[in-house]
Amino acid sequence: MATERYNPRDAEPRWQKTWDEAQVFTTKNDDPREKYYVLEMFPYPSGRIHMGHVRNYSLGDVVARYKRARGYNVLHPMGWDAFGMPAENAAMQNKTHPKAWTYENIATMRSQLKSMGLSLDWSREFATCDVDYYHRQQHLFIDMLEKGLVYRKQSKVNWDPVDQTVLANEQVIEGRGWRSGALVEQRELTQWFFKITDFAEDLLEALDTLDQWPEKVRLMQKNWIGRSEGMLVRWEVVAGTANASDVTVYTTRPDTLFGASFLAIAADHPLAKEAAEKSVEIAEFCDECRRAGTSLAALETAEKKGIDTGIRVRHPLDPSWELPVYVANFVLMDYGTGAIFGCPSGDQRDLDFARKYDLPVVPVVMPADGDAATFTVGDEAYDGDGVMINSRFLDGLTTEAAFQEVANRLTAQTLGNAPQGERKVNFRLRDWGISRQRYWGCPIPVIHCEVCGIVPVPKKDLPVKLPDDVTFDVPGNPLDRHATWRHVACPQCGKDARRETDTMDTFVDSSWYFARFTAPWENNPTDPKAANHWLPVDQYIGGIEHAILHLLYSRFFTRAMRETGHLDLKEPFKGLFTQGMVVHETYSKGEGTAREWIAPADLRIEEVEGQRRAFLLASNEEIKIGSIEKMSKSKKNVVDPDDIIASYGADTARFFVLSDSPPDRDVIWSESGVEGAHRFVQRTWRLISEAAERLKEVGATPAKEGDALAVSQAAHRTLKAVQGDFDKLAFNKAVARIYELVNTLAAPLQAVAAGKADTATTAALRNAVEILIQIIAPMTPHLAEECWSVLGNKGLVAHTDWPAFDEDLVVENDIVLPVQINGKKRAELTIARDASQDAVSQAALGLDAVQTALDGRTPKKIIVVPQRIVNIVV
């Protein structure tokens, strides 16, 4: 019986329409079933979806569909991270408005995502550039301002003098603006900051509770927050300045205090600025330090340099000991206190510095097994733990004990009216600067009044809307030069005042969208009842590139929103999964600057004598096959999801990105791999549709005995295994098991189609086929519906509960045990699963192959690992 090939172009839109009309994926907040919130990181509407999106959303959709079948009330929403620079760049290049550009892209990408057949609740969709969304974000900002979680301070920024804007660090390439190519300047600007450091300790500690996060991500966040335990130590000034009585340094090694030979301060330290006023030389050096700050690469090789300020300080543990204070180029103003003490014997950088400026080097720590009489420090500092030497009352103590001893003394000792030292925990994490001198972002809802100062926009006056009539023909922030927008009456005194023209970093937008999805219709940022019901997100899925910033900011926002009463939980994402990239071979011709990248669509690959070679379609010219890299427009190694869906269908694309590679690893996109996935789709359809007429005649009944037992066992075992794989997001393994099942069912199904199977067998196959359909449904949902309906089943697979496997069919009664002799496999033993150890030993010894291998030797020992292996030791 000939059956037509499965035609996804016909079937896929049809099922998408059916799901849509039945509102299968629209989620209600008051559904009594247990909730499950699955979320993929929402996309930036750059223009078209790429394969990374296909992978990300396929992964999430399997989870969503699977959990729905398991009886959960699943929330699976989608939105758009829609503010940001590319829209403004496009505006400058193409004279389009950022708003038009963005919403057009959203429309395109929405229809692309819909063609994938994702089980999304589109009724909750929003874009962060929707007035309704940024209105609520401004509301949040004002609440945070009132709680003291937002503040303004002067801060150094990367300033592009040509584009007249602040650049993020990532946008500065070798000291130049990435767009303008202009040398970037360091400018002091007043910027808005979120007080993320208030939560540093909590953000760090709570990482331990995130047991469903990748260890890697937790570690990266831990390092980023960078907690260190140390001391603030005050050094009395004895000469060189009248403006300060002491210098405070931060140190994690107070134990090495007797190895100190100098103090070093940052170029922006108040004492350095004072010294610079008195000395041209120092002023020049400080300027040099500031300039060097921009080029990150240069830091690696930069020489450690300094200049004596003339200031002298007294050692905190020896009043007769005076030390010099240097300005040094390696001291950072924004970590610790901007001042350190140098212990050359215990720190390589301090040692290099001391050698250069001829400062004393006194070893104070030696390895525990060292000899105090001979231990010296030459070209290499010893920064490990050990035993104290040359340190007076500390001699002989461990570094740890010395730390405690010094800490105890300095906290007890006073300088002026305050303790000389205090224990201090320091963090690497800085407050989050959110000011951007850009148009296409959420306006910061604040008014500057000459009389009243900074006045938050009253909530009743929100939203502060972006004006539409702006121009992009000159650089700089269009909000700044808008004729009227920035002029506003002060809400407090009514006098003429000025709007804040900075907009918020787009990372703010993505720091709370997951909460907004729980009640996007709400007139407040959240409906706390809905947010508390749905959150935390049970499974969050996205790229590893967001391991620090986005995930850390979201964790901060969750805490800030709790303090402002918008929700009540600590951690936003219970489970996190970081997927790998989609990578592809690269093709090029020419070398160096003349190299030209070729798109896969423009060439054909041939295999000639085992060598893969690539030729241009147009000219037959042979071109070079290069390395496998992340799909990127610049290297043209991209495959457009639209093309794949048009030629193979969404199911094939989905199945392929889930196959082969574990989802946290990169997957290599290859034409032959896609064809393999497509073969599976066609084969499954053919096997089921050809047998459908016969299968329809019987009910689905698994076989407990007879010829069809193997079929039923295979189906139920696969069901159990795939269920486990889905729970662990091991989709590549699930795919492999499904292939196995289809391979097993192929011949029996052909027999059914040919009318050569009895009723019991046919019924067992119907049961097996229904299981197969249900386990492929999360991955290839259209194919599943099509097969389900060809069997004459009523209703949708999408509405059907996950099947239960039959335990009797899953357990194996007879098992095959490998029999080893001295650890080498010599035979196989088939025996009852519950056979006693004795019975297994005897049966193993009775095997001919074993007797031959033993060759008359007597076993010394027989190891029987139940249901695993037998090892006979001679």
Partner RNA sequence: GCGGACGUGGCGAAACUGGUAGACGCAAGAGACUUAAAAUCUUUCGGAGCAAUCCGUGCGGGUUCGAGCCCCGCCGUCCGCACCA
Decide: is 292 part of the binding site for RNA (CB under 7 A).
Answer: yes
CB of 712 to RNA, least distance (A): 19
Site for RNA in 716-735 (CB under 7 A): 730, 732-733, 735
Find the binder of RNA among 132, 288, 666, 758 (CB under 7 A).
Answer: 666
Decide: is 690 part of the binding site for RNA (CB under 7 A).
Answer: no
Structure tokens at 321: 């000991």
3-state secondary structure 778-842: CCCHHHHHHHHHHCCCCCCHHHCCCCCCCHHHHCCCEEEEEEEECCEEEEEEEEECCCCHHHHHH
Q: How far apart are CA 624 and CA 605, in angstroms?
A: 11
Distances (CA, A) of 574 to 61, 76, 551, 570, 604: 18, 15, 12, 10, 46
Site for RNA in 221-250 (CB under 7 A): 223-224, 226, 228, 230, 250
Find the binder of RNA among 3, 164, 682, 701 (CB under 7 A).
Answer: 682
Q: How far apart are CA 677 and CA 656, in angstroms?
A: 5
CB of 863 to RNA, least distance (A): 4
Q: Count Cβ atoms below 10 Å from residue 564 Cβ, excluding itself.
A: 19
Site string for RNA, 177-216 (x = CB under 7 A): --------------------------------------xx
Q: How far apart are CA 518 and CA 533, in angstroms?
A: 8
Q: How far apart are CA 203 and CA 221, in angstroms?
A: 9
Site for RNA in 300-319 (CB under 7 A): 300, 302, 304
Find the binder of RNA among 168, 668, 709, 831 (CB under 7 A).
Answer: 668
Specify the residue, 408 or 822, whose C-beta has the smaller distance to RNA.
Answer: 822
Please name which of 746, 763, 767 lies closest in space to residue 690, comparing C-alpha atoms.
746
Find the binder of RNA among 238, 332, 372, 804 (CB under 7 A).
Answer: 332
Site for RNA in 255-284 (CB under 7 A): 266
Specify the residue, 32 or 610, whose C-beta has the smaller distance to RNA.
Answer: 610
CB of 618 to RNA, least distance (A): 23
Beta bridge pairs of residue 237: 313
Decide: is 837 part of the binding site for RNA (CB under 7 A).
Answer: no
Specify the residue, 219 or 710, whose C-beta has the smaller distance to RNA.
Answer: 219
CB of 205 to RNA, least distance (A): 18
Please name which of 154, 193, 190, 159 lies closest in space to residue 176, comparing C-alpha atoms.
159
Helix (H, G, I), strand (E, B) or coil at 373: coil
Distances (CA, A) of 626 to 428, 596, 736: 40, 12, 30
Structure tokens at 316: 């905190």
CB of 90 to RNA, least distance (A): 27
Site for RNA in 544-563 (CB under 7 A): 544, 547-548
Distances (CA, A) of 184 to 57, 296, 352, 439: 39, 12, 30, 21
Q: How far apart are CA 654 and CA 58, in angstroms?
A: 6
Decide: is 714 part of the binding site for RNA (CB under 7 A).
Answer: no
The per-residue DSSP string of 112-141 comes to: HHHTTT----GGG--BTTSHHHHHHHHHHH
Q: β-pairing, 622-630 with 611-616?
A: antiparallel
Does the annotation flag 570 for ligand binding?
Answer: no
CB of 755 to RNA, least distance (A): 18
Decide: is 869 part of the binding site for RNA (CB under 7 A).
Answer: yes
CB of 849 to RNA, least distance (A): 7
Site for RNA in 345-404 (CB under 7 A): 347, 349
Decide: is 868 part of the binding site for RNA (CB under 7 A).
Answer: yes
Site string for RNA, 793-822 (x = CB under 7 A): -----------------------x-x-x-x
Site for RNA in 472-501 (CB under 7 A): none
Specify the residue, 161 or 673, whose C-beta has the smaller distance to RNA.
Answer: 673
Specify the residue, 244 or 628, whose C-beta has the smaller distance to RNA.
Answer: 628
Site for RNA in 40-99 (CB under 7 A): none
Site string for RNA, 590-619 (x = CB under 7 A): -----------------x------------
Site for RNA in 517-546 (CB under 7 A): 544
Q: Which residue in this structure is represented by tokens 């892209």?
A: 105
Decide: is 285 part of the binding site for RNA (CB under 7 A).
Answer: no
Binding piece for RNA, criterion CB under 7 A, among 370-378, 553-561, 677-685, 688-696: 677-685
State which H helix or E strand residue 713 sits in: helix 709-727
Beta bridge pairs of residue 722: none
CB of 7 to RNA, least distance (A): 13
Site for RNA in 741-760 (CB under 7 A): 743, 746-747
Please name which of 146, 140, 180, 145 lies closest in space to residue 160, comparing C-alpha atoms.
180
Give alpha helix (H) positions in 541-602: 549-563
Structure tokens at 385: 């733990």
Specify the residue, 183 or 569, whose C-beta has the smaller distance to RNA.
Answer: 183
Site for RNA in 767-796 (CB under 7 A): none
Decide: is 336 part of the binding site for RNA (CB under 7 A).
Answer: yes
Q: β-pairing, 539-543 with 35-40?
A: parallel
Q: How far apart are CA 496 and CA 479, in angstroms?
A: 17
Q: Supply the DSSP symbol for 575.
A: B
What residues form the annotated binding site? 633
What residues form the annotated binding site for ATP? 633
